Structure 1
Amino acid sequence: MGIPRWRRWLRNKVSLPVRFLSLTLLCVLLIVSCSRSELKTSSTNRDRIVIGTTAVISTLDPADAYSIFAGNLLYNLGDRLYTYAANSTNLEPQLATALPTVSADGLTYTIPLRRGVVFHDGTPFNAKAMAFSLQRFIQNAGSPSFLLADVDTIQPTGEYELTIQLKKPFAAFPSLLAFSGLCAVSPNAYEIQAGAFKSKTFIGTGPYKLVSYGTDQIRLEAFDRYWGTKPSNKGIDVQFFSSPANLYNAFRTGAVDLAYQNLAIDQIRNLQEGAATNGWQVIEKAGSGIDYLTLNMQSPPLDKLEVRQAIAAIVDRPILQDRVFAGQIEPLYSLVPNTLDVQNPVFKAELGDGNAEKARQLLIQAGYSDDNPLKLEFWYRSNLVNDQLAAITLKAIAKKQLGNLLQFELKGVESTTAYKNLDKGAYPIFLLDWTPDFLDADNYIQPFMECSKGAAPNQCEEGSSFLQGSFYSSDRVNQLIEESRKELNPAKRKQLFNDLQTALVEDVPFIPMWQSKDFLFAQKTIQGASLQATQKVPFWTLKLQLN
């Protein structure tokens, strides 16, 4: 919970290898790489629903799965102690029957569990099974195991009561328990042993059971003994496509019922424009992912506050929204997205968008002029086309608004190399993205602003800001983060996050850029299609209506 999450970026690059490629490039891909996947489910087999995606997954073992789309599948195959209410960021019990009872010191969580639940193999669910599942998540030491690093003990304290002891208080712990991989798995089908994973099987308690796992297709069937609301369909075929172009064409021709992740900007726009004529459903939702600039505060002249403020002031998010992303993102003015009610858009109020006058004033104050311009390297991930387009646009904005006063030198590097070198201080400015593990403001603040060891201000030696390549260090911010993790009162906690966002805009170690949007496309014959704030698609509500 307090360990930085750099593997998330590597995960995202597996599932989003060419995020939002341009349509022109996709046409080339279509010619040279026709199709990795031909549909194995006939379009006439109408008792099942076909979902198309370009996502790539390597495992469905919840103790090791750490990709966005694998999480989506686990969301439908399994149940967790808590989940998010439909179309909401509010927690509700799932395998639990109530929110936890928390001890006065914030360390002990007592959770009552649901009765009458069985696993897909018929094994009864109880507190021992839930404890086994969480202990396996930790001890098998898979990619996401660090999420429970601050858990001390997990004990069944009754047949249907679970008690979890933390090493230190963490107010967002119930939200963390909604993470897709923290689902119950059958003790008779899995073992606790480091590295002992079952990547192509899944035995849980969810509304679907896994019946086949192939290279190009995964098949789910409705679980007839599911304790909750039964699925509105008999089963789901998830079809994997080798490129966004292939997925786009499959949806347009009706070969798939739904398309989700990762169509290109032009393709999304074309489907939006053709929706009325073709009866396509376009489900659009503010995403949980964010993009931001990390500023290396140990790299002169970024050690000067005025320089960091000037860069933040000249950023013009609405131009990026319109010219690069065709409206398929939302401007972001805090590291906390607008889907959470604690967000305070501090950068909009304090520094604005494309505020050339303020940026010029700050740069002059920092000692720069047209004869002595500020020249800065601006780094982006070269394998992500839209990152490059955003960087080019930002350079053009600075040139147009400030002339020669601020000059960005654009430099690209492949994602994996970038992540390895961030904490080495190699990059003055870097455009990056972030996808949370759970929906709580803590997961947008602590992984950025916390410094666990720093000898002097902005000289972080260990912790989140160190690994982010910002090296930001503030005793006050560290204290506020600690208090926010202890505070259980929502109103007081909201105020703490407000103070943290104020510190963010006062110190500018990061510049929030934009918040993602998620898109799900469904044929007119599909009912019940929806997108959740967690980027999840509930399969059980999908229904085929042929008449």
Structure 2
Amino acid sequence: MNRKTLVLPAVAGLLAPVLAACGGENSGSKSDDAIVVGTTDRFTATKNAPAPLDPAYAYDVGTWNILRQTVQTLMIQPKGEGDPVPEAAESCGFTDSGNERYACKLRDGLKFANGDAVTAQDVKYSIERALHIKADSGVFALLSTIDTIETQGDREVIFHLKTADATFPYKLSTPVAGIVNPKDYAKDKLRDGFSVDGSGPYTFRADTKNDEITTAIFTKNPDYKGSLKVSNDQVQMRSFADADAMGAAIDKGDIDVMTRTMSPAQINKLDAGSDENVDLVGMPGLEIRYLAFNTDAPTVKTTAVRQAMAQLIDRGELVSKVYGSQAEPLYSLVPANVTGHSNSFFNTYGDPSVTKAKSLLTRAGINTPVKLTLHYTTDHYGAATKQEFQILQKQLNASGLFDVSIQGSPWSTFRPAEQKGKYDVYGMGWFPDFPDADNFLAPFLDKNNFLGSPYDNTQIRNTLIPDSRREADRLTAAKNLTKIQDIVADEVPILPLWQGKQYVGARTDITGTSYALNSTSTLQLWELGRGVSG
């Protein structure tokens, strides 16, 4: 039996009609040397999301895991974690003492997969394009500190920032800053469909059925120049309806690797050593889950209602009954292993208390029980999500202060409805864009936030976030970061629930699995190979 559990150190998260460039339904059959990776992520063509694979639009862990293999960025998070390092760039760095001027020099001889040279002008075009389009996914907000972009010759690009931003190198490692060819991506329009073209370690094509990707095919790019060593010639990523179907496929040998989202039962089974042909690799993760509120909605507009929910929810019971050792209670938006974390919700509310929750509602003049619906997605964060929301419903209703119903919807309808403000309370997950406390706060609280939330705290937006970004030493930024977390705990525009660990299941002849995921749940398919596992 060759099962292993390996823990790595951690630091300090929809398409138009299928294009002809995509492969046919059967062209993705497993070749002799292709490594086949299973996922429960779904990539579907819908009217509401016509271009999820466009770097100027994509903003979820599944689509980013396609783009990270194919579209090159100036910077990249290194193997084994740490500060970002040059990727398409030969060198990058701040050139002033105020962290407001950032210059990069491209590697010599970079090419797009079609043979066109990659130039500094392409970098400028790509990033300005994302800022100009301002897709409703909100991903462009990651680049919001950019004022102007300057090029010098074909290899030098200089970013002039509106304000100091010590996190900017991390932002240049995210797919929204990916370098695209102007020939393939129009300046003022998203690229509909499933085609992706770039200069990354792999080229890409997709097998599709009923306007949905069934298999994503990544083939080693012979013209790739960058910091990565590619350990395979081809990886195929197959999308499954659920974790059980994915597990059956690895048992039969139809796939080699299971990624997100494995079920708690599957993880427990493999961890017990019940399958000598499949290894379980565990590693720290920075995934969080939370309840979000439309703070303009009548049911939860009064702060006391949200505070009462924060006072009632028992995170310990929730985690133990649904996820066991695979998750931990979370008392802030910032995970416990990220610099700047504070247990603000526990400091504010302590242990769950019906008496304290009732007092909050009584003082605010709220009639009880408060009737509301908790919405969740049925197919994006794993099968255990339904059970999680059943427990939340039970906890709130048991208090006698709430009359809660729950409603699940597929991600393809859930996400657009949430963005349009149709849900008063809804459950979401966050896989960080980069491992810094700023990325667990600004995407939810700043202008043009990821949730499209109407919540607006001017102290957070105008003072605390900008001041925290001025500090290159993130320990020095902790005072401002803690203040933000304390305000969130007091006003509860978002209610954090838990943070999770992450796992990969792989057949025993697959190597490189310990680096197949980094702490931000980024798939690093280039690390996978065939051989003899340890």
Say which of 344, 347, 350 aligns to 2:348: 350
Q: Distance in 2 between matches of 1:534 and 1:485?
A: 20
Confirm whether residue 440 of structure 1 aligns to residue 436 of structure 2: yes
Residues 407 and 120 of structure 1, relative CA distance in 2, 3 Å threshold: closer
**In the comparison of the two structures, how many residue pairs are matched?**
491
Are 2:62 and 1:78 aligned?
no
Question: Secondary structure of the equivalent of 2:331?
Answer: coil
Give 3-state SS (helix, strand or coil) of 1:532's partner. coil
Contact 2:307–2:357 (Cα < 8 Å) also in 1: yes
Instruction: Give the 3 Å change call, closer, same or farther, for CA 430–341 of structure 1 in structure 2.
Output: same
Cα distance in structure 2, aligned partners of 1:302 and 1:540: 47
Gaps of at least 5 residues in structure 2 are 1-12, 16-23, 46-51, 209-213
Distance across 1 between alignment mates of 2:357 and 2:123:
55
Q: 1:47 Cα deviation (Å)?
A: 2.2
2:287 alignment partner, SS class: strand
8 Å CA contact retained: 2:433, 2:520: no
So what's the TM-score if we normalise by structure 1?
0.76
Q: 1:516 to 1:39 in 2, by over 3 A?
A: farther
State the one-letter code of the partner of 2:237: V
RMSD of equivalent CA atoms? 3.7
TM-score, normalising length: structure 2: 0.78
387-396 vs 535-544, which deviates more?
387-396
**1:195 pairs with 2:189:** yes
How many Å separate the matches in 1 of 2:221 and 2:416?
Answer: 41
* Greater gyration radius: 1
| CA shift in 2, pair 1:191/1:103, >3 Å | same
Aligned to 1:505: 489
Matches within 5 A, 1:125-164: 125-139=118-132, 144-145=139-140, 147-164=142-159
- The code of the aligned residue for 2:480 comes to L
Distance apart, 1:418 and its partner CA: 8.2
* Aligned counterpart, 2:222: 224
Counterpart position of 1:90: 83
CA contact (8 A) 1:100 1:112 kept: no
Q: 1:313·1:354 contact (CA, 8 Å) conserved in 2?
A: yes
Match of 2:475 in 1: 491
Match of 1:28 in 2: none
Distance 2:26 2:509 in 1: 22
- 1:366, CA displacement in angstroms? 5.9
What residue is the counterpart of 1:4 in the other structure?
none
Of 38, 41, 46, 1:55 maps to: 41
**What whole-Å deviation, never above 9, does each CA across 1:430-458 have from its counterpart, x for those lacking one?**
444444444432332234334x6xxxxxx
Q: Deviations over 1:132-188 (max 9, x none)?
A: 33334445665544544553332212443211223454443222111124222345x
- Would the alpha carbon gap of residues 424 and 301 (structure 1) be closer, same or farther in structure 2, given more than 3 Å must change? closer
Gaps of 5+ in 1: 1-11, 15-35, 453-462
**Is 1:209 aligned to residue 194 of structure 2?**
no
Distance 1:479 1:358, change over 3 A: same
Answer whether contact 2:329 2:497 (CA < 8 A) is retained.
yes
Residue in structure 2 matched with residue 468 of structure 1 by the alignment: 453
How many percent identity over aligned positions?
Answer: 25
What CA deviation, in whole Å up to 9, does each residue of 1:60-108 have, x standing for no partner?
4434444422211221223211111224253222223444215456543
Q: In the alignment, residue 35 of structure 2 is paired with which amino acid?
A: I
Q: Which has the higher mean CA deviation after the structures are superposed, 94-103 or 244-253?
A: 94-103
- Residue 318 of structure 1 aligns with an amino acid whose one-letter code is G
Distance 1:40 1:446 in 2: 40
The question of whether the paired residues in 1 share the 8 Å contact of 2:373 and 2:404 is answered with: yes
SS in 2 for 1:100: strand
Q: Secondary structure at the match of 2:180?
A: coil
* Letter paired with 1:218: A
Amino acid at match of 2:440: Y
CA distance in 1, matches of 2:492, 2:240: 41
| Residues 46 and 544, structure 1, Cα contact 8 Å, conserved in 2 | no
Distance 1:431 1:202 in 2: 30
* Inter-partner Cα distance in structure 1 for 2:376 and 2:292: 12
Distance of aligned partners of 1:501 and 1:191 in 2 relative to their CA distance in 1, 3 Å threshold: closer
Tell me how far apart the structure 2 counterparts of residues 423 and 217 of structure 1 sit (CA, whole Å): 30
The aligned runs of 1:392-471 (5 Å cut-off) are: 392-398=390-396, 402=399, 404=400, 406-412=401-407, 414=409, 416=413, 420=417, 427=424, 429-450=425-446, 464=449, 467-468=452-453, 471=455
- The aligned residue for residue 185 of structure 1 is 180
In structure 2, the CA distance between the partners of 1:522 and 1:425, relative to structure 1 (3 Å rule), is: closer
1:539 corresponds, among 513, 525, 529, to 525
Question: Equivalent residue for 1:22?
Answer: none
Residue 207 of structure 1, CA deviation? 2.2
